[in-house]
Amino acid sequence: MSDLSAYTDHFAADNLPRDHELPEFTSDLPELEYPARLNAAVELLDKNIAAGRGEKIAIRTPDGDWTYRELLEKSNQIAHVLVTDMGLQSGNRVLLRSANNPMMVACWFAVLKAGGIVVATMPLLRARDLVPMITKAEVAFALCDARLIEELEKAVLSAPVLNNILTFHGPKDQLEDRMANKSTDFATVDTAAKDVALIAFTSGTTGKPKGTLHFHQDIMSMCHLVGQRLLGITEDDVIIGSPPLAFTFGLGALVGFPFHAGATTVLLEAAAPDLYLEAIARFRATWSFTAPTAYRAMLGNVANYDLSCLKACVSAGEHLPLPTFHAWEEATGLRLIDGIGATELIHIFISAAGDDIRPGATGKPIVGYQACILDKDDKPLPAGNVGRLAVKGPTGCKYLADDRQETYVRNGWNMTGDSYRMDEEGYFWFQARDDDMIVSSGYNIAGPEVEAALMDHAAVAECAVVASPDEARGQIVKAFIKLAPDYSPSDDLITELQNFVKKAIAPYKYPRAIEFSESLPKTETGKIQRFVLRQSEMSSASVKT
C-alpha cells in the first residue's frame, strides 16, 4: 500500500503511457533505491534545514540573497496559499511563468509540497505557445510573474480551463499579499516516489511541443547521477547558468544539483554575455551551465573579467562545435564538459568530465545509463558505424497522452532522434539530428559538420545548415549565416566561405547555397530551430514548381 499515489486528481496517472509503451527502466545503483514515499521538495529543501544550513545563502541574485530558511518559509507560505486560498487538490497541475528568480524557485517547491504537479513555462512564450500546454495538461491554476501576465491572459481566452491565477512581483503583488498572514510551517503532502511531480514541455525544435511526465524519483535520479556522480558538485560550490528553470537542463543545473549538494545557486533574469561574465566574477561562481552559442558569444569579452573562480563549465542544450570547445579552452584554460540530454529523460545521459574528455566527442553513457547505435531495422551496429542513438536507464520517455510515444520508445529503448557514431573506446560522437542529415547526389552529409567548418571562419558569428530541395541532386547543402561584426554580405564572401569549407572537409560537403541573415530562428533556450529553415526551403521549392 505504501506505493499508492497520494493524489486525489488522477489525471496524470490516467494519461501515462501504457506499460507496453514505456521504455525499459534499468539501474542497480544503491542510491537509486528510493523509498516508496518520496517528495523531491523535502529532499532538496527541507533536508538542508535539517542539515544545519538554514542560515546559509541558497540563492544569490543581483538584487539580493535568500537563505535556505527564507526559501523554505516562503515556499511553505505559498503552499498554504495554493491549498487554502486557491483550492488546490493533490494531483492538480499548476502553471509557473517567470524568469529565473527566487520567487520562481519558491513557487516550484511550494507546488511539490502541496502535492501539485509543476508545469513550468518559458518566459518568452506567447499566448499561442501557452494555449496547447494549458489545454493538454488541463491546467486550472497558475502563479505568474506580473511582468509576464499579458500573454497568459490572452491564452486564457482560448484555454478557459485555466481560471485561477495569482501574480507576484507586480504592483498588486497578489501572491505576496496572501502569503503575509500564512504560517511558515507546512505539512508536505506524502507523495509516492512514482507520483508525477512535473510535466515538462519540449522546447519546440520540432515545432509541436510534447508534454513529458517526470516522477519525484526522476528528479532525484537526475541529481544523484548528474550533479553528484558525473560532476561532483559539493556544498562549497556556487552554481551559475543561463537556461530557464522551465527547461529541465536549467532545473537540474540551477535547482536540483546545488540544492541536492547544499550549495549556492546564482539566478539571473537576464544573461546577455557581458551580464553573465560580470555575474561569474561578482559572485565567484565555480560552475557554469549554458549552451554552446552562449560560450561562443562570450569569447570576445572573456579577457575583461576575472574568471579564475571557475573550476568547470558544462555545455548542453545543443551540439557543442569543436571550434567553440577549443576557443573556450584557449581563452579560459577550461575544457568544456559536453553533454547530451533530453526533456524526455529529464537531463544528461551521455557526457565526460575531467581527464575523460575527448575533444569533439560527447562522451560515454554516464553511470546508470546504457546506450547503443542502431540501424534502420533497430539492430545494433558495431563501432565506427553511424546510426540512431538509443538510450535506457532509470529515467525515460513518458509522454502525456501522445501517439508519438510509440516513435520515441522502440523495444525498450529511448530513440533520441540523433545520429551518432561510437568508437572502439566506447565514446559517442555526434553526427547530426536525424532531420539534419542531408542526402545530396547519394552522399550523406551531416549538417553540423558543415556548420563546424563554417564556424572556423572569422566572418561567421552563427550558422545553420539544412537541406534545400534541388531538382538535379535531390537536395543540396544550404547555409544560413549571421555575420560577425565588420563583415558585410557579398558574392565574394560567399565564394570565400565555400572554398574555406572545401579545404576543411570533403569538398562535396560544401554549402552550394549560402544565405546571410540578421538572425537565426531559435527557441528560448538558445537552440537553433533548423526545422523552421527546412520548412521555409520546402515552401520555397513548392512555390517554384
Give the pLDDT confidence of 495-536 residue by residue, as tens digits.
999 999 999 887 889 999 999 999 999 877 778 888 899 888
Q: Closest Cα partner for 96 from 118, 66, 129, 77?
A: 118
DSSP calls for 298-328: HGGGGGGS--TT--EEEE-SS---HHHHHHH
Q: Closest Cα partner for 92 from 51, 25, 126, 141?
A: 141
pLDDT for 523 equals 79
Q: Which stretch of DSSP H or E encloses residue 386?
A: strand 386-392
Q: What angle do CA 484, 336, 312 make, to 5 degrees?
A: 125
Q: Which CATH number fits domain 39-190: 3.40.50.980, 3.30.420.40, 3.40.640.10, 3.40.1190.20?
A: 3.40.50.980
d(CA 136, CA 339): 30
d(CA 480, CA 498): 13
441-544 maps to CATH 3.30.300.30: yes
Provide, rounded to the nearest whole percent, the portion of the chain with pLDDT above 70: 97
Please report where in the chains the cell 545494433 appears, as a residue: 380
For β-strands 117-121 and 93-97, DSSP reports them as parallel
Q: What is the pTM of this model?
A: 0.86
d(CA 194, CA 213): 11
The SS3 of residue 436 is helix
> Which amino acid does the sequence have at 278?
E
The SS3 of residue 42 is helix
Within the chain, all domains assigned CATH 3.30.300.30 are found at: 441-544
pLDDT band of residue 539 (cuts 50, 70, 90) is confident
Give the pLDDT confidence of 148-207 residue by residue, as tens digits.
999 999 999 999 999 999 999 988 779 999 999 999 999 999 999 999 999 999 854 445
Within the chain, all domains assigned CATH 3.40.50.980 are found at: 39-190
Instruction: Supply the Cα-derived Rg of the chain in whole angstroms.
Output: 23
Give the pLDDT confidence of 141-159 residue by residue, as tens digits.
999 999 999 999 999 999 9
pLDDT for 544 equals 58
pLDDT for 410 equals 96
Question: Between 225 and 469, whose confidence is greater?
Answer: 225
Give the pLDDT confidence of 349-406 residue by residue, as tens digits.
999 999 999 999 999 999 999 999 999 899 999 999 999 999 999 999 999 999 999 9
d(CA 17, CA 45): 30
Neighbours of 491 (CB within 10 A): 8
Please report where in the chains the cell 515538462 appears, as a residue: 200
Q: Does residue 545 surpass a pLDDT of 80? A: no
Q: How is residue 173 written as a grid cell?
A: 503583488
pLDDT for 172 equals 73
171: left (phi over 0), alpha (psi -120 to 50) or beta: alpha
